[in-house]
Amino acid sequence: MREKFNHLYLDSHERKLLIHSLVELKNQRIQQGRYTDCVDKLIFKVINTPTKRMKIEYV
């Protein structure tokens, strides 16, 4: 079975907000004494994704 991929298109503000939220989630999990491996992977993926310029047309 094929793996399903989801794509997110974010502007710079949304990207910063996403990274900040993931870091806050990681801090909460550390305070609770839980593992942060999955959150670390997500932070790494968001930070290292390539940027793509897109033209947006308003109708």
Mean of all residue pLDDT scores within the chain: 90
Greatest Cα pair distance, the chain, in angstroms, is 50
pTM of the complete model:
0.78
Q: How far apart are CA 41 and CA 29, in angstroms?
A: 14
Q: How far apart are CA 39 and CA 30, in angstroms?
A: 11
**Higher pLDDT among residues 38 and 58, named by residue:** 38
Residue 27: band (very low, low, confident or very high) from pLDDT cuts 50, 70, 90: very high
The mean pLDDT value for 5-32 works out to: 93
Residue 44 scores a pLDDT above 80: yes
